[in-house]
């Protein structure tokens, strides 16, 4: 959607992302962005023919960063730590990055009120992110485990829930307890004592 070329493209994205992180895409006009980048509206149009196209690329950047951030953090921590601690740090890392959280919610909003194409593209990246979470769990708890399905679902919910929580409240969430909660899913004696195991639905509308 975006043209490929040198320096300005990136600068536009960077500046636009900063403004949108602060005010949301709906409240950020192309004038605002052009002014902040130091170019004319015409030039902005030359690089991004529609506002949507710009938001697309920002969405891409956002997920790139979030996904790379997870991977880098896990690699940095290595295997020296307790899996539970690693999960706690992951959750905290994502939960405390407020600028990213705001952007995350603003992009979600764009998707909710956007067109099908927007939604499609967003979902692709979202699933990629979810996949990364599952890889992290596999790395921490072994490749195959029946708890992976509920654990990754719960991890996602924690991350998203923290996003909203951190946007509304200022104090940190109980990251440690959340980590333990996920860890518990992998403990033999905890597994569904007398209950049904959580199995992700696989119908056509299922998402991963």
Partner DNA sequence: TATGAATGAGATTTCATTCAT
Partner DNA sequence: TATGAATGAAATCTCATTCAT
> What is the token pair recorded at 189?
């004696």
13 vs 19: CA distance, rounded Å: 10
- Give the nearest distance from C-beta 17 to its own copies in angstroms: 16
> According to CB under 8 A, which residues from 35 to 54 bind its own copies?
none
CB-wise, 38 or 174, nearer to its own copies?
A: 174
**Strand, coil or helix: what is 6?**
coil
- Give the nearest distance from C-beta 56 to DNA in angstroms: 12
Nearest partner of 58 among 133, 134, 114, 132, judged by Cα: 114
- Give the nearest distance from C-beta 115 to its own copies in angstroms: 12
Stretch that binds its own copies, among 51-59, 64-72, 134-142, 150-158 (CB under 8 A): 150-158
Distances (CA, A) of 123 to 114, 127, 132, 194: 13, 6, 14, 35
CB-wise, 75 or 207, nearer to its own copies?
A: 207
Cβ atoms within 10 Å, residue 57 = 20
> According to CB under 8 A, which residues from 86 to 115 bind its own copies?
102, 105-106, 108-109, 111-113
Q: Which residues of the shown chain bind DNA in the complex (CB under 7 A)?
A: 3, 5-6, 8, 27-32, 39-43, 45-47, 49-52
């Amino acid at each position: 959607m975006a043209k490929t070329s040198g320096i300005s493209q990136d600068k536009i994205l960077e500046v636009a992302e900063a403004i949108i992180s602060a005010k949301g895409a709906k409240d950020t006009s192309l004038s605002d962005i052009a002014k902040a980048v130091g170019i004319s509206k015409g030039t902005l149009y030359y690089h991004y023919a529609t506002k949507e196209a710009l938001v697309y690329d920002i969405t891409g950047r956002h997920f790139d960063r979030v996904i790379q951030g997870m991977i880098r953090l896990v690699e940095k921590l290595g295997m020296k730590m307790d899996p539970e601690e690693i999960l706690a740090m992951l959750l905290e890392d994502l939960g405390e990055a407020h600028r990213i959280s705001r952007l995350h919610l603003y992009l979600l909003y764009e998707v909710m009120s956007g067109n099908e194409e927007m939604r499609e593209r967003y979902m692709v990246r979202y699933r990629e992110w979810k996949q990364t979470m599952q890889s992290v769990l596999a790395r921490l708890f072994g490749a195959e485990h029946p708890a992976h399905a509920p654990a990754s679902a719960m991890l996602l919910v924690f991350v998203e829930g923290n996003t909203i929580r951190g946007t509304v409240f200022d104090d940190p969430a109980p990251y440690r307890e959340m980590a333990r909660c996920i860890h518990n899913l992998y403990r033999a004696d905890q597994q569904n004592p007398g209950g049904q195991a959580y199995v992700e639905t696989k119908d056509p509308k299922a998402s991963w």
